[in-house]
Amino acid sequence: MSLCHINLLGKKFDIVSFDDTIVVFIGILILIFSIVLIKHFFKMSKDKKDLKDKEVEATVENTVEEKKQTSVEKENTSETSEEEAETAELIEEVSEEVKLKEKLDQEKDRYLRLFAEFENYKKRTSKERIDLFKTANSELMTAILPVLDDFDRGMVEIEKSDDKALVDGVKLIRTKLKDILSQKNLEEVKVEKGGEFDSDVHEAITQIPAPSDDLKGKIVDVVEKGYQLGDKIIRYPKVVLGIK
């Protein structure tokens, strides 16, 4: 028996040597153990490499997926932007159309107002023209009224004459004059004794006790005749009222 020194994996082991057979057996065991350790070492190295490769592959796949996702998001964003742009353009077109329609409605309303104002202007000027024609000789007619009054008073005296030809001649002149004035729209305001008093048509100059009960509050006498030119009274008839 002898003491032997064996180096295994960089470590020094002391064993007792019995004989050569045992030494050989132990050497074989050591060799087998070394081979197993080497295989295990290589397997661990390979597993680590495979794991690293898988991690790299997974990282690459994740990067590719992220790029795809980013590309899809960009495409979606681009599509969304295009849709928003189309929507904004459509809204702008609709808004412009609404503005044009509002402007057209305003112009139509303005045209209708101007047309209505022009129609009212034509009616007003036409009425004013007609009234002007009717009352064009208002001043002249007003100046003639005292002459008509004198004519009527003179006619009362002439009718007392026995000269029938004179009376008929004056009556003819008076009739022609009134016809001419009537053609110029000058008419006498009709007033009758015993008629109702109208403050819009008659002018009361005095009041006297009524001669009879049926004349109380009514027209007793006409002091001066009234005349109207067309629809306008140019002189109100002066009347006397009977008081109750």
142 in the same domain as 239 = yes
146 in the same domain as 221 = yes
Domain membership flag for residue 103 = no
Domain membership flag for residue 84 = no
233 in the same domain as 162 = yes
Supply the pLDDT for residue 82: 72
Contacts of 195 (CB under 8 A, 6+ apart): 218, 219
Domain membership flag for residue 57 = yes
pLDDT in tens, the chain (244 residues): 444 555 544 545 455 444 456 666 777 777 777 777 777 766 777 766 677 767 767 776 777 677 677 766 666 666 666 777 777 777 877 788 888 888 888 888 888 888 888 888 888 888 888 777 666 678 888 888 999 998 888 888 888 888 888 889 988 998 999 899 888 888 999 888 888 888 888 999 988 888 888 888 888 998 999 999 888 889 999 999 888 7
Domain membership flag for residue 17 = yes
Among 76, 107, 122, where does a domain finish? 76
238 in the same domain as 143 = yes
The total of other beta-carbon atoms located within 10 Å of residue 238's CB is: 17
Report how far residue 71's alpha carbon sits from residue 125's, in angstroms, rounded to the nearest whole number.
79
- Look up the CATH number of the domain holding residue 176: 2.30.22.10
Structure-block tokens of residue 138? 């208002």
Structure-block tokens of residue 13? 């082991």
Q: Is 222 helix (H, G, I), strand (E, B) or coil?
A: strand
Q: Which has the closest alpha carbon to 16: 8, 7, 6?
A: 6
10: left (phi over 0), alpha (psi -120 to 50) or beta: left
Domain membership flag for residue 15 = yes
Q: For the chain, where are the E strands, in sequence order?
A: 2-8, 11-17, 186-189, 203-209, 219-224, 226-229, 232-235, 238-243
Domain membership flag for residue 81 = no
Residue span of the structural domain in which 62 resides: 2-76
Give the containing element (helix H, strand E) for 128. Answer: helix 20-135
**Structural domain total, the chain:** 2
Among 76, 93, 128, where does a domain finish? 76
Domain membership flag for residue 200 = yes
Supply the pLDDT for residue 32: 79
Among 76, 94, 122, where does a domain finish? 76
Supply the pLDDT for residue 17: 47
Domain membership flag for residue 131 = no
Supply the pLDDT for residue 126: 86
pTM of the model: 0.45
